[in-house]
Structure 1
Amino acid sequence: MTARSLSKVHPAYRDDIADLTTRRPVPGPGLEQIDPFLFLNHHGPQTYPPHNGGLPFGPHPHRGFETVTFILTGNLAHHDTGGHESVIEAGGVQWMTAGSGLIHAEISPPSFKQAGGPLEILQLWVNLPGRLKMTEPAYTGLQENEIPHLAIAGGQGAVSLISGDFDGATGPIRSLTGVFMSIVRLAAQARVDLPAPADRAVLLYIVSGAISIGDSVVQQWHLVTMAEDGDSISITAETDAVLLFGHADPIGEPVVSHGPFVMNTREEIGEAIRDYQAGKFNGKGALAGVGA
């Protein structure tokens, strides 16, 4: 394998939501998207006190893309108008295909609001091509024990494989567009070469710790973009580190977004708004608190 060179380092900027500590590496200044990766929020790490209000993500609609939520610590209750409901614990992941449209809520379960505790969550938006934007909505919730954890770096690290193939294993999520997605954990001084085909867009975000790529040291809360001059990424962990690592084929289509809707044209955005207001996202029944 030939190592890709680092193109640029992008800091996540602070954008708290109510009392939820939030950092956003993309979109940000100088980085609108990494096609097809549209948006990444890093919530926490923080500790909620007992008798807290929990996460602020009550019922809201989506159309035209997918959301992938990684629960690093704490837990998350999900409910949507497709009839899906779950509580995902620490180490788990939920992958929701909004497709033609649904309404969902991502909130803290009553036990967390009562007792409090540590919380850290990543949420990623993955675009869908025009031919799939109106696909049927779907949802998969995975607990930690349903995710393969593959040893790397001579046992000094592990890849938690969400989707795609790695070292002879296949992730439990079958992505509609062939997205590879994982969480990588490395012990200090571990070195690893992660496959990253040159024609694929790479998502690499340092959740915690610090790594080096070539001669560059990249600290936590930074995202890196890579040149298309190789087929792997060579990483050395400067400290214990947690990384969000994925890659995908670029879609190469116009992106028109309006709040929770991501389509190809302004006309399609207008149609999404009208459909939502007409109750067409309600599926198996509107969620409590939804006015549609």
Structure 2
Amino acid sequence: MRTIKSQHRAQNAPIADLTTYRALPTNSVEHLDPFLFLNHHGPQTYPAHNRGLPFGPHPHRGFETVTFILEGDIMHQDSGGHQSVIAAGGIQWMTAGRGLIHSEISSDEFKQTGGPLEILQLWVNLPASLKMTEPNYIGVQESDIPAVALDEGRVIIHAVSGEWAGTAGAVQPLTDMSLATINFRQGGRLNLTIPAERTIFCYVIRGRFRLNGQETEMRRLVEFNADGDEFQAEALTDDAVLLLGHAAPFNEPIVAAGPFVMNSEAEIRQAYADYRAGKFGTWQG
């Protein structure tokens, strides 16, 4: 069984009137290669006639964003011509690659009527060989994400990417990365084999768990050592939810500056120059 290296508490980092907890990076952990960044927005309830999410047009290069819409919705638009509204239970997988501009705002309906909102946004790195790949966007509604029931229905895996209990996820990513949100009823147990050389990404969205023998609770990022291949989770409360992923580390230099993640300072400077020169596409909003 893998041992737990540390538990990292997500830090309160509100954005305008949006409740936000940053789980990665924090004062205690910089990244878990190739997982770079996680913001947990909400849960909160928006009133009617609200301004919605504050993420207007902004650029990215060199990595991918995976956004999990737990409550509410997100209207995505980017300079590659992609546009969609993804509702609760769905995900958005955007490959920034060589560069694009996108916005993530609430739908007109949500801004009109309000309601509950809870969203996770995860940044995952791209290796040097793929950092300048063609940008892409995939929006997947809840109904198109395979759900795998285990432990007599007390564990439900929502398979986003990779393979989970023999079921392929909804997205086939550029790299070998498995991601899922997993819902537990109290007492539900999950046992997985994850090779020791792969980085585990484990974030407690809701509830309390016993993970590989240690108790943990909501808004905790659990960091594992690379000393075993057995992962065990047991829910200690009802309505407990994990974000779980695993991937092989790239073991490459990581240089991040604002919205860009590259392998060197020179590449960061080039990203800013390319953005100013209009090479990230034209915003049509």
The structural deviation recorded for 1:64 is 0.1
SS in 2 for 1:32: coil
- Report what 1:247 is aligned to: 246
Residue range with higher mean Cα deviation, 50-59 or 150-159: 150-159
SS in 2 for 1:274: helix
- Report what 1:66 is aligned to: 64
Aligned match of 1:90 in 75, 88, 91?
Answer: 88
Aligned pairs for 1:10-21 (under 5 A) are 10-21=8-19
The structural deviation recorded for 1:25 is 1.1
- Report what 2:266 is aligned to: 267
Gaps of 5+ in 2: none
**Contact 2:212-2:231 within 8 A present in 1 as well:** no
**Contact 1:9-1:224 within 8 A present in 2 as well:** yes
Residue range with higher mean Cα deviation, 66-75 or 186-195: 186-195
CA RMSD of aligned residues (A): 0.9
Aligned pairs for 1:213-232 (under 5 A) are 213-232=211-230
**Contact 2:70-2:117 within 8 A present in 1 as well:** yes
- Report what 2:156 is aligned to: 158
- Report what 2:284 is aligned to: 287
**Contact 2:46-2:117 within 8 A present in 1 as well:** yes
- Is 1:194 aligned to 2:192, yes or no? yes
Residue range with higher mean Cα deviation, 199-208 or 230-239: 230-239
User: Which letter does structure 2 place at the counterpart of 1:121?
Assistant: I
**Contact 2:2-2:212 within 8 A present in 1 as well:** no
Q: Percent identity?
A: 53
- In 2: Cα distance, 1:6 partner to 1:137 partner: 36
The structural deviation recorded for 1:215 is 3.8
**Contact 1:151-1:158 within 8 A present in 2 as well:** yes
Aligned match of 2:44 in 35, 43, 46?
Answer: 46
- The total of aligned residue pairs comes to 284
- Report what 1:5 is aligned to: 3
- Is 1:120 aligned to 2:118, yes or no? yes
- Report what 1:108 is aligned to: 106
Deviations 1:7-46 (A, max 9, x none): 2110000000000000011100120000000000000000
**Contact 2:254-2:263 within 8 A present in 1 as well:** yes
**Contact 2:207-2:237 within 8 A present in 1 as well:** yes
SS in 2 for 1:96: strand
User: Which letter does structure 1 place at the counterpart of 2:75?
Assistant: A
**Contact 2:91-2:139 within 8 A present in 1 as well:** yes
**Contact 1:197-1:231 within 8 A present in 2 as well:** yes
Q: Which runs of 4+ in 1 moved over 6 A?
A: none
Query: How does the TM-score come out when normalised to structure 2?
Result: 0.98
Residue range with higher mean Cα deviation, 188-197 or 43-52: 188-197
- In 1: Cα distance, 2:218 partner to 2:211 partner: 13
Gaps of 5+ in 1: none
**Contact 1:103-1:287 within 8 A present in 2 as well:** no
Deviations 1:222-255 (A, max 9, x none): 0101122221211110002100000001011111
- Report what 1:148 is aligned to: 146
- In 2: Cα distance, 1:266 partner to 1:158 partner: 43
Residue range with higher mean Cα deviation, 75-84 or 232-241: 232-241
The structural deviation recorded for 1:161 is 0.3
- Report what 1:278 is aligned to: 277
- In 2: Cα distance, 1:117 partner to 1:197 partner: 41
